Copies of this chain bind each other. A is one copy, B any other.
Amino acid sequence: MDDRSRARSAPRLFILQPASVVPIYRQLIDQVRRMVASGQLPPGTALPSVREMAAEYTVNPTTISKAYSLLEAEGLLQRNRGKPMTISARRRANGTVAQRLKQVQPHVEALVLAARQLDLREEDLAALIRKQMGEDT
């Protein structure tokens, strides 16, 4: 991804946080999975190359490579000799809403646990979420 394309800069496809306790390769895997489930990454879509990703997110190439390899092993990505990896046609065309709700459930549980221990109310959370959904990023 060269400077020009970054200047135009559609918002980034993924959000990787090196400081997080969640390993970077895990963050990437989770995000690809979700975007495939929702159809935002339809079958056939080419992902950025390992090197592009590594440069874009200033992350070690082996980290990206590890995520891609695991997604390939899972059947979600497909290797194409000499060409970028693509979203596989055969698996999880499009998750049902129920399936996708299930994927978000762990985050809901973590949030509600924190909210309870902080003695916050449902309304507080609703407001924070509304605000966050409105943000660009």
Chain A residues near B (Cβ < 8 Å)? 15, 18, 21-23, 26, 30-31, 34-35, 37-40, 70, 73, 81, 95, 97, 100-101, 103-105, 107-120, 122, 124-126, 128-130, 132-133, 135
How many chain copies does the complex carry? 4
Contact present for A104 and B111 (CB under 8 Å): yes
Taking a contact as CB atoms under 8 Å apart, the answer to whether A101 and B124 are in contact is yes
Contact B104 A114 (CB under 8 A): yes
Which residues of chain B come closer than 8 Å to A26, judged between CB atoms? 21
How far apart are the CA atoms of A114 and B109 in the complex, in Å? 13
What 5 pairs between A and B have smallest CB-CB spacing? A38-B119, A34-B117, A107-B111, A112-B132, A100-B118
